[in-house]
Structure 1
């Protein structure tokens, strides 16, 4: 293996779960899911520099002051996992430009890990191949393999068993960001409590959740109106229960031209699907006027990729 002397720059996308069904709580404390991921044009950027040890720093529009920079950081974990797998004896200095909200339900940390795997593999000349990178990614977190893969995909198991989904055209989204994050384990716990409270009123969750064919047909047709009818997230109700203010954001977006809004992943980011570019621009203006922090994005986009300077 030959280490590159010049830094390597990799971009990896954030994601929206356009469909997410959560199975019953299992004995190991986890849930199986069935989800449709779409990678969107809000990307993390990782720059990897040769170094004798492992370090990470952050910049960009997101407040990163509370992010760990020690061995608990997922990007450092990704770099060390690749070094262990390949026997690489050096290190890496990582500089990450964060644009995806932290604890926002869009897989920003997962994108950092995916980008780091690809950046270090390129920098170090370890050349383990995409399949091995996906294996390492799955050990780091459920959403990391999708950040490597990108596009549109169906995720099962913990979300890490991926199969590409046929998707036509481009979908236009407006993202509304909260000024707080949400803990994924806490949202899942609230879902379990919600199901227990309403056990007599709702169907019990299945062990093996299934994806609705309607969402697959909508993606294949590239039809935002069809997709709006199929958007679903089992974590939306518990997220709204924990953060009731999100409900008024959903209503505001739908009053101002969104075809539909959905909490992305475990929240609190809300993704509004719009009919076209003009609809996205007008919704972005309306939500900005209401003092919300918003971004206009498109999907699907490619997964983690090396970009030239």
Structure 2
């Protein structure tokens, strides 16, 4: 049964994320990997507007290259809208307008943020009032990063990354991110990691991934210097092997004062941890002068919410 609309148009904003720590286990029989991740939502956002329509459609624009973002049923946000409709018993459609600021295929969960925003937007548009628990269940059906995009803040993810536990993070952490002109396929990065792990001199796998306790202690203390000593990404070796030119930017950032530099998620976006906002600004200037696009962001920030 179709529900009455409670709004003519709903605007939801959802954040991109960084993986401050990412440990990847062996490939499982189903082709997936068990992981342990420390996520932090950062102040680079996706904006999604939902409005009533007879059918399901999506339009995509933004400040980043969106040419690779599908505008059909392959779009994760559109799939999210259909899940809400099915759960709520809504028989109409929706038009989603997505304005992207998170790099596409950049390892920052932009598509997952779109999906999380669409879940919240359609729930509000249709007055479904599904509640946080049901929205999280729908999010888990859409992908490992979607539940965190709903939650925001800082969290530990296990399993496929979608089994979330909030993590206490005191204060603010400043980052400078360097997007790349071309994205990387997450499945390709994982497959390359598996290939690298057949060479024990390159990487060794772990059976039960776990987040380094040093990461949790640093977050609780609000200490970026301590956090820099523990950040790690098991996908980084694979991403750098596929895109070796990223090493030059990583080295430049670290030489220019970053406390730590790492590939974000499956890459190719790079993330540099700074001691404070002033240090982040100085690092941003150095990287920009070298010809890189550099953005200053901070975390943790809220998850998907109606504006």
Fold match (TM-score > 0.5): yes
Picking from 141, 146, 152, the partner of 2:143 is 141
Q: 1: distance between equivalents of 2:25 and 2:118?
A: 31
Q: Is the 8 A contact 2:196 2:203 kept in 1?
A: no
1:85 shift after superposition: 1.5
Q: Is the 8 A contact 1:38 1:152 kept in 2?
A: yes
- 1:167-198 CA distance string (max 9 Å, x none): 00000000001111000001001111111122
Query: 1:31 maps to what in 2?
Result: 33
Q: Is the 8 A contact 1:4 1:50 kept in 2?
A: no
1:67 shift after superposition: 1.6
- 1:262-290 CA distance string (max 9 Å, x none): 10000000000000011000111111111
Query: 1:152 maps to what in 2?
Result: 154
TM-score using structure 2 length: 0.97
Q: Is the 8 A contact 2:17 2:41 kept in 1?
A: yes
Query: 1:299 maps to what in 2?
Result: 299
3-state SS of paired residue (2:294): strand
3-state SS of paired residue (1:196): coil
Question: Any residues of structure 2 matched to 1:113-128 within 5 Å, and which?
Answer: 113-128=115-130
Picking from 48, 51, 66, the partner of 1:49 is 51
1:134 shift after superposition: 0.3
3-state SS of paired residue (1:230): coil
Picking from 95, 101, 107, the partner of 2:109 is 107
Q: Is the 8 A contact 1:21 1:211 kept in 2?
A: yes
Please state if 1:184 is matched with 2:190: no
1:64 shift after superposition: 1.4
Q: Is the 8 A contact 1:284 1:294 kept in 2?
A: yes
3-state SS of paired residue (2:197): helix
- 1:86-118 CA distance string (max 9 Å, x none): 210011111111000000000000000000000
Query: 1:231 maps to what in 2?
Result: 231
Please state if 1:258 is matched with 2:258: yes
Question: Any residues of structure 2 matched to 1:239-254 within 5 Å, and which?
Answer: 239-254=239-254
The runs of 4+ residues in structure 1 deviating greater than 3 Å are 200-204
Q: 2: distance between equivalents of 1:32 and 1:235?
A: 13
Question: Any residues of structure 2 matched to 1:59-74 within 5 Å, and which?
Answer: 59-74=61-76
1:55 shift after superposition: 0.6
Q: 2: distance between equivalents of 1:201 and 1:261?
A: 20
Q: Is the 8 A contact 2:35 2:160 kept in 1?
A: yes
1:66 shift after superposition: 2.7
1:4 shift after superposition: 2.6
Query: 2:290 maps to what in 1?
Result: 290
1:203 shift after superposition: 4.3
1:255 shift after superposition: 0.9
